[in-house]
Amino acid sequence: MDDFNEQVARLQQALEHVERTLEGPALEASRSLMRAVLDVHRRALADWLALDARGVPPVASLPASVVWLLAIHDLNPEPFEARVRGALQDALSALPNAAAELSRIEGERVWVRLDEGPAQALGVLARAITASVLRVAPECVLEFEGLPEIAEQPHLLPVASLVRRREEVSP
């Protein structure tokens, strides 16, 4: 089986291809099909979660694919802020002498303030925090304060591009 991140990348490419190549009724039909598939997934996940909310394992112990799917459907059983704070603590506990704190949270955008240090060490810390947070909150958009420009940062398909918020769903 392909790596989950490869599957997400293929999904993103397919969505971009459809948006670029289809027009009018064909594009609307494709969008309608995608909405219908997501509605079916959302309903199944909601039903699964409703069976026994006490039996749902902590998000950190779920496979990345399940966490991502829950985020797409805005069904994560743990509050966003709690997941982000826990992931930040997990990242910091894995890196001795590292220090960072949540500066603020606005919706799905999170600002993390890094303590001073060598650029390379701050880059390692930022990547560790990014990986840890995206593992449990893939819908999160991270911003780092006190971070010099770094090279690669892990990323997944921005869930916000697929999420249909509850207030957008018409009965």
For 59-114, how does the pLDDT look when each residue is reduced to its tens digit (9 = 90+)?
777 777 778 778 878 888 889 999 999 999 999 998 888 899 999 999 999 999 99
Q: Where are the domains of the chain?
A: 4-77+159-168, 80-145
What's the distance, CA 40 to chain centroid? Answer: 20
Please give the C-alpha separations between residue 17 and each of 13, 27, 163, in angstroms, as whole numbers: 6, 11, 19
Higher pLDDT: 157 or 58? It is 58
Which residues, in sequence order, are bridge partners of residue 113?
101, 145
Q: How many CB atoms lie within 10 A of CB 128?
A: 20
With beta carbons less than 8 A apart as the criterion, state whether 118 and 93 touch. no
Q: How confident is the model at residue 162 (pLDDT cuts 50, 70, 90)?
A: low
For 28-71, how does the pLDDT look when each residue is reduced to its tens digit (9 = 90+)?
999 999 888 888 788 877 777 765 666 667 777 777 777 877 88
Q: What is the DSSP letter of 167?
A: G
Which residues, in sequence order, are bridge partners of residue 105?
110
Q: Which backbone phi and psi does 145 adopt, to 5 degrees? A: -100, 135
Q: Mark 143-153 as b/e (b = at least 16 C-beta within 10 Å).
A: ebeebeebeee
What's the distance, CA 157 to chain centroid? Answer: 8
Give the model's pLDDT for residue 156: 46
pLDDT, mean of residues 16-24: 92
- Nearest alpha carbon to residue 123 among 100, 88, 151, 145: 151
Q: What is the CATH class of 80-145?
A: alpha beta
